């Protein structure tokens, strides 16, 4: 494994393309298990080699990849990112983002380049890049994705692509 920068700063954006996360592929990195994927009904899939819904397959991001708040000051979520001096194996990502940039996985964040939401749900509201424009539009999301969309407006206070500081954790 390549040594990575242990901390730094970057710039964020948001997306939710409904597709299989990069770290869900078997053998992507030295981990005990790949990121779980789900079928279009949010049932976990057992085969990490199932093709992504963004590429005509049946593997999609599971609802539990949505961000969640622990309290008013702490929330967790996932991001597609690249880290300077690392490799895909060390940060487990095949991203279309430059180093020190993070695409936060937020339902309603926009599908971006890839669109697995149309085969999974028949489409989602909002712009391709940027996603929904208001909390009210989250109510037009598929029911299982609404809580993650509401998180953006309720906890994240609709922050629009903020800068961030990061620290590598193991």
Q: Phi and psi for 125 in degrees, rounded to 5?
A: -70, 165
Q: For residue 12, which phi and psi values (nearest 5 degrees)? A: -110, 160
Closest to 12 (Cα-Cα) out of 84, 86, 78:
78
| Catalytic (active site) residue 103 | yes
Instruction: Say which of 103, 115, 160, 163 is annotated catalytic.
Output: 103
Is 17 among the residues known to form the active site?
yes
Query: 17, 55, 136, 154: which one is catalytic?
Result: 17
Distance, in Å, from the CA atom of 160 to the CA atom of 74, rounded to the nearest integer, reads 18
Got the DSSP string for 3-25? ---SEEEEEEEEE---BPPGGGS
Q: Are the CB atoms for 165 and 9 separated by under 8 Å?
A: yes
Q: Which residues are part of the catalytic machinery? A: 17, 103
């Amino acid at each position: 494994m390549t040594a990575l920068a242990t901390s730094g700063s970057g710039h964020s954006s948001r997306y939710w393309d409904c597709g299989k996360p990069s770290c869900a592929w078997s053998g992507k990195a030295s981990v005990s298990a790949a990121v779980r994927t789900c079928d279009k009904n949010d049932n976990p899939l057992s085969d990490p080699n199932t093709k992504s819904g963004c590429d005509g397959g049946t593997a999609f991001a599971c609802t539990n990849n949505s961000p969640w708040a622990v309290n008013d000051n702490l929330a967790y979520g996932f991001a597609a990112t690249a880290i300077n001096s690392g490799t895909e194996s060390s940060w487990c990502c095949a991203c279309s983002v430059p180093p020190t940039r993070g695409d936060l996985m937020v339902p309603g964040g926009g599908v971006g380049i890839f669109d697995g939401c149309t085969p999974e749900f028949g489409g989602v509201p909002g712009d391709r890049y940027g996603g929904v424009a208001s909390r009210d539009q989250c109510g037009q999301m598929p029911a299982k994705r609404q809580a993650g969309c509401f998180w953006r407006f309720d906890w994240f206070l609709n922050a629009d692509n903020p800068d961030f500081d990061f620290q590598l954790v193991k």
